């Protein structure tokens, strides 16, 4: 049927309009697609390229080389050695248990290490590399490398691990490093991403801990190309970061090793300080331990042996240990009395073996007494009664003030762990800490370094250096950081009468060089190096009146832990002092018999910059000294100590 003619124009117009609308829509869609393609290919090209690269390239942190530690002469105390290890990245592994099983078939990994690795991998982000095995041999790491195509997410690497060439000789000074723990992360305010790397090692004790940030350096990074399976194909770039700074100590390695060897067999500590500069030349602690055990992962058996040893090898006794200083404190009481004007240097005090105060007897070490003694004789023969008497005149507050001026009761800024402050007590201290009034008996006990008085070997060495020079000598352990010399000071003059100090020094000289001196048996025979010293014996148990009546039990007849501590402090030479030495032997008995010989030997080693000639010793001691030197010789590293006083 044909349409009417009149309908054809209207129909044509409708078709044209629809065609225009449809064509416009199609053109708009095409324009939108062109715009979107331009946006994707041109405007957002960099963003999509980055996404593609991230799927193809992994960026991983590179731990920097840790700074090295040297002695004053450049002897290496802590360095880094190559460490072949295997790391895993969980997001590239697939089945974790299967990956660990396959790795264990290639290299030996203990069940404990496998369990620890699995725990680390599950605890940390999937992109964080976790060390699974380390300290592998070249053959073992080669087997991993050969099988790498079949081990996605498992990568052999060559890293660095800490090494302590001189081992136990510097364990308490340098300290050691170990894997960062949750405790470490909580105690230090440090956002360094390196700390998030499982088993990354940081300083735990000693200089390693105190200079952790300086020694650590700054992380580098590397870009690794991986395939779709996550297998590393090649390294694209590497930024090694910034290595840690090197640190040079004031310690003399040979003198330190000698000191450790001389203390062997004792529970003891010794400190050697240069009285001119305050540089610490040796800080001995015995027994010691091998810090390399902690770097490699100490075994349960080794840890138990160290932790349960009654002689406390893990403790840095030279700076952490505090002991009643005994008679080495008497110089403080004497100076306080002289300065206060309550004691004439030539005055005599009658010693009958004890004094009685408020119904209590305070005994001298010599039961029959010393008779009439002057200040000089009281130090030379170590008469206790003399100090009981003068301390009542001068009072504890004056004694404590002098003790603090000479370094006791002071926490020195030395970068070692747990530096002890010691205690130079006074009236205010007892009231504040114990809520009690100070009593005259407290003063009497304190006058001979007993009672509440406590000092570390470091403090006793500083006290002796200040006595020798009359200056506020301050100890220094770090000589330079990355070659930059660290501040040092010989100290300002102390506000004390030089004539009084000279009298004290002369009395200390006779302690070691007069036949009636308590340390005469440990004297130095060389005229130019003769030393001044003071013996000390501090009680660790109370001697009852009944025991005194029946006869005091000898130290050698007591259990070790109930014996007295033995102490000796000295400086040499008398007229131009170079070094001061302090020695404490825990439960060593008498200071004159056990501490003084050790201090003399260490002093001679320092003065001669190596083994002294036998003529430096009294003739009757030379045969045994020769045997002793032969025993120690193999313990001291080769080379010569420096005579530099810089």
Mean pLDDT for 170-174 is 97
Q: Which of 474, 497, 467, 492 is nearest to 574 (CA)?
A: 467
Mean pLDDT for 74-102 is 85
Report strand pairing: 69-70 vs 247-249.
parallel
Specify if 180 maps to a domain: yes
Whether residue 71 is predicted with pLDDT greater than 90 in this model: the reply is yes
Of 161, 257, 327, 378, catalytic = 327
Place of tokens 């004159």: 592
Specify if 11 maps to a domain: no
Q: What range defines the domain where residue 430 resides?
A: 253-305+314-633
Q: 467 with 331: CB under 8 angstroms?
A: yes
Same domain, 287 and 325: yes
Task: Tell me how many degrees the CA angle 345-351-352 measures, rounded to the nearest 5.
Answer: 170
Same domain, 213 and 293: no
Same domain, 230 and 278: no
φ and ψ of 359, to 5 deg: 80, 5
φ and ψ of 528, to 5 deg: -70, -15
Specify if 39 maps to a domain: no
Boundary residue ending a domain (203, 220, 245): 245
Catalytic-residue membership of 512: no
Q: Which two tokens stand for residue 186?
A: 């909580």
Same domain, 323 and 206: no
φ and ψ of 103, to 5 deg: -65, -40
Mean pLDDT for 532-537 is 96
Same domain, 403 and 450: yes
Q: Give the pLDDT score at 44.
A: 64
- Total domains in the chain come to 2
Q: How far apart are alpha carbons 224 and 237 in whole angstroms?
A: 7
Specify if 104 maps to a domain: yes
pLDDT band at 158 (very low <50, low <70, confident <90, very high): confident
Tell me the CATH number at 128.
3.90.1310.10
Averaged confidence pLDDT in the chain: 87
Weakest-pLDDT range from 54-63, 418-427, 561-570: 54-63
Render pLDDT for 436-463 as a digit per residue (tens, 0 to 9).
999 999 999 999 999 999 999 999 999 9
Q: Which of 406, 509, 491, 503 is nearest to 449 (CA)?
A: 406
Place of tokens 């504040």: 432
Same domain, 178 and 260: no
| pTM of the model as a whole | 0.84
Render pLDDT for 343-377 as a digit per residue (tens, 0 to 9).
999 999 999 999 999 889 999 999 899 999 999 99
């Amino acid at each position: 049927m044909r349409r009417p003619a009149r309908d054809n124009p209207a129909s044509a117009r409708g078709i044209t309009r629809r065609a225009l609308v449809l064509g416009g829509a199609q053109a708009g869609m095409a324009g939108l697609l062109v715009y979107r393609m331009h946006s994707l290919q041109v405007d957002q090209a960099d963003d999509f390229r980055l996404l593609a690269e991230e799927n193809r390239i992994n960026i991983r942190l590179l731990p920097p080389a840790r700074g090295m530690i040297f002695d004053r002469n450049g002897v290496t105390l802590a360095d880094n050695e190559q460490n072949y290890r295997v790391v895993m990245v969980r997001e590239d592994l697939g089945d974790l248990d299967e990956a660990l099983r396959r790795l264990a078939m290639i290299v030996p990994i203990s069940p404990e290490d496998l369990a620890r690795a699995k725990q680390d991998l599950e605890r940390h982000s999937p992109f964080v590399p976790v060390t699974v095995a380390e300290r592998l041999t070249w053959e073992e790491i080669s087997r991993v490398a050969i099988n790498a195509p079949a081990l996605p997410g498992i990568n052999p690497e060559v890293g660095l691990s800490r090494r302590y060439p001189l081992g136990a000789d510097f364990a308490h000074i340098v300290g050691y490093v170990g894997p960062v723990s949750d405790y470490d992360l909580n105690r230090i305010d440090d956002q360094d991403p390196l700390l998030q790397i499982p088993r990354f090692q940081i300083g735990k004790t000693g200089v390693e801990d105190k200079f952790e940030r300086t020694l650590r350096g700054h992380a580098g990074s590397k870009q690794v190309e991986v395939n779709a399976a996550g297998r590393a194909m090649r390294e694209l770039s590497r930024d090694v970061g910034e290595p840690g700074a090197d640190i040079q100590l004031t310690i003399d390695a040979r003198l330190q090793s000698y000191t450790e060897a001389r203390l062997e067999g004792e529970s003891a500590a010794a400190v050697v300080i240069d009285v001119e500069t305050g540089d610490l030349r040796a800080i001995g602690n015995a027994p010691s331990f091998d810090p390399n055990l902690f770097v490699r992962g100490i075994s349960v058996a080794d840890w138990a042996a160290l932790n349960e040893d009654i002689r406390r090898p893990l403790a840095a006794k030279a700076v952490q240990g505090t002991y009643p200083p005994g008679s080495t404190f008497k110089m403080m009481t004497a100076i306080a009395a002289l300065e206060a004007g309550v004691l004439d240097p030539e005055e005599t005090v009658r010693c009958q073996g004890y004094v009685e105060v408020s119904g209590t007897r305070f005994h001298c070490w010599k039961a029959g007494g010393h008779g009439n003694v002057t200040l000089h004789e009281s130090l030379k023969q170590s008469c206790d009664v003399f100090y009981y008497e003068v301390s009542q005149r001068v009072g504890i507050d004056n004694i404590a003030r002098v003790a603090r001026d000479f370094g006791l009761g002071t926490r020195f800024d030395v970068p070692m762990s747990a530096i002890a402050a010691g205690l130079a007590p006074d009236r205010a201290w007892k009231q504040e800490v114990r809520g009690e009034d100070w009593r005259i008996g407290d003063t009497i006990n304190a006058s001979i370094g007993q009672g509440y008085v406590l000092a570390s070997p470091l403090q006793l060495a500083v006290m002796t250096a200040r006595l020798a020079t009359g200056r506020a000598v301050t100890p220094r352990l770090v000589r330079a950081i990355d070659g930059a010399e660290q501040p040092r000071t010989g100290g300002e003059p102390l506000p004390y009468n030089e004539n009084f100090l000279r009298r004290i020094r002369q009395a200390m000289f006779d302690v070691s060089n007069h036949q009636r001196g308590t340390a005469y048996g440990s004297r130095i025979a060389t005229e130019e190096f003769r030393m001044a010293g003071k013996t000390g014996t501090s009680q660790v148990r109370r001697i009852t009146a009944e025991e005194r009546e029946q006869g005091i039990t000898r130290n050698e007849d007591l259990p070790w832990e109930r014996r007295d501590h033995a102490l000796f402090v000295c400086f040499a030479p008398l007229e131009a002092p170079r070094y001061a030495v302090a020695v404490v032997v825990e439960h060593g008995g008498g200071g004159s018999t056990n501490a003084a010989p050790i201090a003399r030997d260490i002093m001679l080693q320092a003065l001669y910059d190596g083994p002294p000639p036998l003529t430096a010793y009294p003739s009757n001691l030379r045969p045994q000294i020769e045997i002793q030197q032969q025993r120690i010789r193999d313990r001291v590293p080769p080379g010569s100590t420096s005579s530099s006083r810089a």
